[in-house]
């Protein structure tokens, strides 16, 4: 890989009329009375930043730059890249190792129609899809298939060279006319050549890293995906619309979406491997085991939250993930911070906590007493016999947080970028950050954010926000905030980027997958204004 010059585009020109300092005061409170469309303004200039080189095939450089995560979801390694001692997650989101008859062969009972499909009466490709799903399910004790509802969500979203053979398999399905049982959503794309603040060299880097991306895009369209606006890891949000009703069986992939869907929507999905979710989508069925069963949704851990004030939900999630790995936790003491219900405000917290349980551990489902639907209905009856208890207080959170290392190459350097929206931001989350940022800039008598601020979100959510808060949206843009539907992890995970960038984030998940340092909302806002790490 050639030496690359990292060029950042940051706003440098004077603002047109209607600058931040002349904001409508109401916008500072996040409630805009005047919903007139905002006008664009501001010139942009180029600033040259640091550079780095990575040799072809140099896996050490590669690994250094993708920053070995400590959790089980991405690599199962600790922060030093060592295998986690005793790590034995089976990756389903529900621990099957305790299944008493796990060593005995299981024969799935199929319906006549399913057997006909398996026998090839609807073509050889669909027969292979059925065979794949059945054989996989039997390994985990499934004795039947269940009908899937709602719509699929796929995590097959990036395509480096090694995806070639996998793409070929699904292209055979598309050639045979197979389609998913419903128009489906997909994780965000690994690049955003339209909105992201990247140079042409960086764009080339992305195109080189994901050479088969266009082939993957085309494949998804042939298999019945929705259009690219629906490519988001938070496809379950109302704006994107993949939010099946309570109790619906689905076969999703993407750890955070499975985690949110099971927990907050109350749908039923195992943590599927990439490719297996598409197999299930093509057949419209999934093997019944793990989180698709009542037993598999019982909690083996009681988590008692006993902090003095409202905690950082991402750190709470990380603590839970480290402790329970892939078992189901039942969390008490969190409802008072969430208004006792699922709401636009509480889903921000649930998303941050849940995605952390799924990235620092492999949690596919959690229950929050008095908040999430199954806990609200069944209460502590959801606790499995012999459950264990884990108390999270301020000291425990400090201990967990104390283990977070500074992974920047230049540990004392200044931050280069702020990542918000991992998983993709909700409407309310964007509103809160819009208010925080514009208010802080106004108080500092400053027009622009000090370093690039990227808010990752679905285009549908961004459009909703623009519609409801056009002035706040305009002022965020004028201040230099970028809205992008990119996968922040893929962006930061590209070989070379980790050496070039010193990102900061509010996302516990992004901290796990990249070299980003985690900050609470207050200090992060300070960084956005000053470009400096708070002392």
By beta-carbon proximity to other proteins, the closer residue of 255 and 484 is: 255
Select the residue interacting with other proteins from 3, 31, 46, 82 (CB under 8 A): 82
- For residues 208 and 301, what is the distance between their CA atoms, to the nearest angstrom? 44
Q: Sort strands 4-11 and 44-52 into parallel, antiparallel or unpaired.
A: antiparallel
Residue from 131, 229, 405, 436 in contact with other proteins (CB under 8 A)? 131
Under rule CB under 8 A, residue 145 binds other proteins: no
Using CB under 8 A as the binding criterion, the count of chain residues that bind other proteins stands at 58
Asked if 211 touches other proteins (CB under 8 A), the answer is: no
Nearer to other proteins, 438 or 492 (CB): 492
Q: Judge whether 14 and 43 are in contact, CB under 8 Å.
A: yes
Collapse the DSSP code of 385 into the 3-class scheme (helix H, G, I; strand E, B; otherwise coil) and give the result.
Answer: strand
134 within 8 A of 145, measured Cβ to Cβ: yes
- The residues pairing with 383 across neighbouring beta strands, listed in sequence order, are 299
Of the candidate residues 40, 100, 161, 412, the single one contacting other proteins (CB under 8 A):
161
Around Cβ 338, how many Cβ atoms within 10 Å? 22
389 SS3 class: strand
**Binding piece for other proteins, criterion CB under 8 A, among 16-24, 74-82, 380-388, 394-402:** 74-82
State the nearest-atom distance from the C-beta of 76 to other proteins, in Å. 3
| 77 interacts with other proteins by CB under 8 A | yes
User: Does residue 162 bind other proteins (CB under 8 A)?
Assistant: yes
Residue 278 or 455: which CB sits closer to other proteins?
278
Among 4, 67, 136, 478, binds other proteins (CB under 8 A): 136
Does 2 contact other proteins by CB under 8 A? Answer: no
Cα–Cα dist 35/33, whole Å: 6
Is the peptide bond between 94 and the residue preceding it cis, with omega within 30 degrees of 0? no
Among the listed residues 279, 292, 461, 516, the single contact to other proteins using CB under 8 A: 279
Rg (C-alpha) for the chain, rounded Å, is 23
Query: Could you say which of 13, 83, 379, 413 contacts other proteins (CB under 8 A)?
Result: 83
C-alpha closest to that of 126 among 287, 282, 288: 282
160 near other proteins, rule: CB under 8 A: yes
Residues numbered 88-127 forming contacts with other proteins, rule: CB under 8 A = 88-92, 96-97, 102-105
Which residues lie below 8 Å from residue 307, measured CB to CB, with a gap of 6+? 333, 392, 393, 394, 397
| CA separation for the pair 249, 398 (Å, rounded) | 38
Report, in Å, the least distance between residue 502 CB and other proteins: 23
Residue 57 in contact with other proteins, rule: CB under 8 A? yes
Least separation in angstroms between CB 189 and other proteins: 16
Is the bond into 423 cis (omega within 30 degrees of 0)?
yes
Asked if 274 is part of the footprint of other proteins (rule: CB under 8 A), the reply reads yes
DSSP β-bridge partners for residue 9: 46
Minimum Å distance from CB 278 to other proteins? 10
Residue 339 beta carbon to other proteins: minimum distance, rounded to whole angstroms: 33
> Residue 383: which of 396, 366, 371 has the closest Cα?
366
Both structure tokens of 195: 């909105």
Strands 4-11, 329-332: pairing kind: unpaired
Q: Name the phi and psi angles at 50, rounded to 5.
A: -70, 165
Q: Does 358 contact other proteins by CB under 8 A?
A: no
Query: Is 220 a binder of other proteins (CB under 8 A)?
Result: no
Contact between 326 and 175 (Cβ < 8 Å): no
Do the bridges between strand 481-484 and strand 383-392 make them parallel or antiparallel, or are there none, so unpaired? unpaired
Taken as a whole, the chain contains a residue count of 535
* Cβ–Cβ < 8 Å for 77, 367: no
Which of residues 65 and 248 has its CB atom nearest to other proteins in the complex? 65
- Decide the pairing of beta strands 185-186 and 285-287: unpaired
Residues of span 244-273 touching other proteins by CB under 8 A: 253, 255, 270-273
Q: Minimum Å distance from CB 272 to other proteins?
A: 7
Give the interface segment with other proteins, choosing from 79-87, 218-226, 402-410, 411-419 (CB under 8 A): 79-87
- Regarding 60 and contact with other proteins (CB under 8 A), the answer is yes
Binding string, residues 451-490; x marks residues near other proteins by CB under 8 A: ----------------------------------------
Minimum gap (Å) between residue 162 Cβ and other proteins: 4
**487 token code pair:** 């996968």
Which chain residues interact with other proteins by CB under 8 A? Answer: 56-60, 62-63, 72-77, 80-84, 87-92, 96-97, 102-105, 128, 131-132, 135-136, 139-140, 155, 160-166, 169, 172, 253, 255, 270-276, 279, 495
């Amino acid at each position: 890989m050639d030496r690359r010059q990292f060029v950042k585009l940051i706003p440098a020109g004077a603002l047109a009329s209607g600058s931040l300092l002349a904001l409508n005061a109401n916008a500072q409170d996040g409630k805009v009375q005047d919903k007139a469309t905002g006008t664009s303004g501001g010139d942009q200039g180029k600033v040259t930043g640091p550079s780095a080189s990575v040799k072809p095939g140099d896996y050490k450089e590669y690994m250094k730059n993708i920053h070995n995560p400590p959790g089980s979801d991405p690599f199962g390694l600790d922060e030093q890249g060592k295998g986690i001692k005793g790590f034995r997650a089976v990756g389903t989101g529900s621990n099957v190792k305790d299944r008493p008859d796990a060593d005995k062969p299981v024969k799935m009972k199929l319906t006549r129609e399913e057997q006909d499909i398996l026998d090839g009466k609807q073509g050889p490709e669909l027969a292979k899809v059925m065979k794949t799903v059945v054989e996989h399910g039997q390994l985990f004790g499934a004795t039947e298939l269940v009908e899937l509802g709602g719509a699929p969500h796929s995590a097959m979203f990036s395509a480096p060279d090694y995806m070639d053979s996998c793409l070929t398999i699904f292209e055979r399905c598309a050639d045979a006319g197979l389609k998913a049982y419903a128009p489906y959503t997909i994780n965000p794309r690994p690049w955003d050549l339209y909105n992201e603040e990247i140079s042409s060299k960086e764009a080339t880097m992305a195109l080189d890293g994901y050479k088969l991306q266009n082939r993957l895009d085309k494949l998804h369209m042939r298999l019945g995906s929705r259009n690219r606006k629906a490519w988001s890891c938070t496809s379950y949000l109302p704006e994107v619309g993949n939010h099946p009703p309570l109790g619906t069986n689905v076969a999703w992939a993407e750890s955070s979406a499975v985690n949110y869907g099971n927990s907050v929507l109350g749908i039923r999905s195992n943590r599927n491997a990439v490719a297996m979710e598409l197999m299930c989508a093509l057949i419209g069925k999934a093997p019944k085991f793990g989180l698709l069963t009542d037993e598999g949704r019982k909690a083996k851990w009681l988590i008692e939250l006993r902090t003095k004030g409202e905690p950082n939900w991402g750190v709470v999630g990380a603590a839970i993930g480290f402790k329970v790995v892939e078992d189901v936790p039942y969390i008490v003491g969190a409802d008072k911070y969430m208004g006792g219900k699922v709401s636009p405000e509480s889903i921000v917290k649930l998303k941050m906590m849940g995605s952390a349980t799924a990235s620092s551990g492999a949690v596919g489902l959690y229950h929050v007493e008095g908040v999430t639907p199954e806990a609200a209905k069944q209460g502590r009856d959801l606790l499995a016999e012999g459950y264990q208890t884990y108390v999270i207080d301020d000291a425990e959170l400090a201990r967990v947080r104390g283990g977070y290392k500074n992974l920047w190459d230049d540990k004392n350097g200044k931050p280069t970028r702020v990542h918000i929206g991992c998983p993709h931001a909700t409407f309310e989350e964007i509103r809160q950050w819009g208010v925080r940022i514009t208010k802080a800039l106004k108080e500092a008598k400053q027009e622009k954010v000090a370093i690039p601020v990227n808010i990752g979100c679905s285009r549908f959510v961004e459009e909703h926000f623009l519609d409801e808060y056009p002035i706040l949206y305009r002022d965020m843009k004028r201040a230099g905030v970028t809205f992008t539907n990119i996968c922040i992890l893929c962006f930061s995970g590209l070989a070379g980027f980790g050496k070039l960038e010193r990102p900061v984030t509010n996302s516990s998940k992004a901290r796990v997958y990249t070299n980003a340092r985690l900050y609470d909302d207050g200090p992060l806002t300070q960084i956005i204004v000053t470009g400096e790490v708070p002392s």
